Structure 1
């Protein structure tokens, strides 16, 4: 979603008309969850996707109608519809998509700036009517056309943003609570206009990919990780290896002992962070792994053979690491893809990170019988 918002902001600044199509609901198997967007510019440029390529042609046709003066529309495509087969949506799911022109007052510059600064922000768009809001921690830009509607939307967006969720919320005769859900009103709550549905797109800071050990394996891992939307840090105690020119996709390359860097930046580690220890040297591995396994990082992995792993476990126990902490360690790192070399190893590592973050099994899809795409959930 980030690159779509950034491109939309650039087109808005240049005065180029564009239509944004955004998934608002999904049922069954769907490749993208609520909030996923596709941009259609008047000059023919296309950015992003709302399906696996199934309905994009139909979205472009709907966007052309909007460019011609048509109103915003909410279109639905599903496997049971003749239209779905005509456009190719045969994956077994149903998606509902809001298609509307990006207006000059849409606060995309604010959303884009917050994304660049790593500040959480939500874009709020009504399914009907004009106006939109950008909502961040204690800040609001734009308007839905009235103070009461704005207050209700802000409360809803703050709740969704706090949970890292995108999707629809309703404001009506009931009031919207601070967690973004409807319920009985309280005297302090805002009065809401009836029957309005709002699409909330939440943008959290990029998940961190922390690579300790500027080895040859680290180069494709940093490159692939950046391509998948991570904020990449490469850290190595050896200045000759910690050369930014070797890692053009990394956000930062640091010459420092891994454990010292981790200690100084521990406040940045959260459940979305992935820690990959590639130094393959116990002098560096054990101190940083000891800290990482005690941290809230959602993924901690270490490179090495099974023999190296057994030796590493002995050393970690001697350093005071508990069995519960050791159970979090992904070692040897990565999924078993049967790969060889740095690039294929990096692919297996990122596949495991995604599986852990998204709750995937890591098994071949052909071995299962359920939906290819399970219920959509935010990143962990």
Structure 2
């Protein structure tokens, strides 16, 4: 999400009287790759680019090919195969041993539905998971679609223009499967006339939202690192008790009395870090009533156990499902000592939880790092 926002910002700053641009998007990955599907790079014809599609080995070649696509005003699909032991193959030195398809789409600034404009519309809306369909393979055109076309899927009605019940049903079913798994993948569909329509189906969830409930000095390194990652941060505290430096790294500051006004969804993590036992004990039942998927509490295990014990004695029952959302002590066991290291530990655990990972060392994995078809 941070990359998309950077691309939109750069796009809005382009001098359209002198500069043309294209969007490079990773639409298929087989095997290993530094970046995954959905990685993007905005390329200007003056040689400037924002974002990235690899660890740096493909960007130079993609820049040349993007400028060619701009000159032709035609989208193109480029395949980088790093599995071949060919010294002339771009990217082979990376050693990733994978195949990457990159779609290069020239951007028409006059077109309100060009890919960057569509991404911008997604960012401007209320937090939700967006589903984007991009044509990556199609001979000629079909019902107004052509290579490079991107559209938003908002339900079966949004693809009614295809005027093909069988195709619409198959596409809708595929989208539902991908959305349930949170997967972005390409998929080919047979057209009635024998041609093939290949789409990149992208599931684009909102950025992780971190709600920090506290005002002590350790809020600052956590907010700083969160901003660097590209997540959203809301601090719940008395504004008069917060350091002024927090204003530059926080999206919102909300008083405890206005906690209910915060938009909290399943992509939200809440950290209780007031350093006050009574305050955290008061806040825990309240935050468990929200849709937040992750609730963390600072402090040793004995402290959190005491909070849960006292709540139980007061008749406030924490269900098994609610207990599974509580992470106390918060963070991964990395031997963190300083506030900055503790922040790293906390954010690493949150990322692991939202990715359905354990947080163990990658060298201990017996399967590929990323899920493969």
TM-score over 0.5 for the alignment? Answer: yes
Q: Following the alignment from structure 1 to structure 2, what is the Cα–Cα distance between the partners of residues 299 and 115?
A: 23
Determine if the alignment matches structure 1 residue 75 to structure 2 residue 72. no
Corresponding residue number in structure 2 for 1:303: 298
Corresponding residue number in structure 2 for 1:250: 250
Secondary structure of 1:14's aligned partner: coil
1:331 to 328, 332, 335: 328
Matched-pair contact (CA < 8 Å) for 1:133–1:140: no
Matched-pair contact (CA < 8 Å) for 1:123–1:135: yes
Quote how far apart the aligned CAs of 1:13 are.
Answer: 7.3
Quote how far apart the aligned CAs of 1:19 are.
Answer: 2.4
Quote how far apart the aligned CAs of 1:60 are.
Answer: 2.3
Q: Following the alignment from structure 2 to structure 1, what is the Cα–Cα distance between the partners of residues 118 and 351?
A: 29
Corresponding residue number in structure 2 for 1:45: 48
How many residue pairs are counted as aligned between the two chains?
350
Q: Following the alignment from structure 2 to structure 1, what is the Cα–Cα distance between the partners of residues 171 and 352?
A: 33
Corresponding residue number in structure 2 for 1:313: 308
Q: Please give the root-mean-square deviation of Cα atoms over the aligned residues, in Å.
A: 3.5
Corresponding residue number in structure 2 for 1:98: 103
Quote how far apart the aligned CAs of 1:23 are.
Answer: 1.1
Q: Following the alignment from structure 1 to structure 2, what is the Cα–Cα distance between the partners of residues 44 and 343?
A: 37
CA distance 1:196–1:81, change in 2 (3 Å)? farther
Matched-pair contact (CA < 8 Å) for 1:38–1:46: yes
Matched-pair contact (CA < 8 Å) for 2:103–2:136: yes
Quote how far apart the aligned CAs of 1:289 are.
Answer: 1.5
Q: Following the alignment from structure 2 to structure 1, what is the Cα–Cα distance between the partners of residues 199 and 85?
A: 26
CA distance 1:282–1:18, change in 2 (3 Å)? same
Corresponding residue number in structure 1 for 2:208: 207
Matched-pair contact (CA < 8 Å) for 1:23–1:97: yes
1:115 to 107, 115, 123: 123
CA distance 1:102–1:116, change in 2 (3 Å)? same
CA distance 1:102–1:345, change in 2 (3 Å)? same
What TM-score do you get using the length of structure 2 for normalisation? 0.79
Matched-pair contact (CA < 8 Å) for 1:303–1:332: yes
CA distance 1:95–1:272, change in 2 (3 Å)? same
Matched-pair contact (CA < 8 Å) for 2:221–2:340: yes
Corresponding residue number in structure 2 for 1:358: 355
Secondary structure of 1:340's aligned partner: coil
Q: Following the alignment from structure 2 to structure 1, what is the Cα–Cα distance between the partners of residues 156 and 14?
A: 22
Q: Following the alignment from structure 1 to structure 2, what is the Cα–Cα distance between the partners of residues 4 and 337?
A: 31
Matched-pair contact (CA < 8 Å) for 2:132–2:202: yes
Corresponding residue number in structure 2 for 1:132: 149
Q: Following the alignment from structure 1 to structure 2, what is the Cα–Cα distance between the partners of residues 72 and 85?
A: 17
Matched-pair contact (CA < 8 Å) for 1:171–1:192: no
Determine if the alignment matches structure 1 residue 171 to structure 2 residue 189. yes
Secondary structure of 2:248's aligned partner: coil
Q: Following the alignment from structure 2 to structure 1, what is the Cα–Cα distance between the partners of residues 372 and 317?
A: 38
Corresponding residue number in structure 1 for 2:33: 30
After superposition, the C-alpha distances for 1:278-333 in whole angstroms (9 at most, x for unaligned) are 11212221222223334432211111123323322323433322344224321111
Quote how far apart the aligned CAs of 1:347 are.
Answer: 0.9
What TM-score do you get using the length of structure 1 for normalisation? 0.78
Corresponding residue number in structure 1 for 2:270: 275
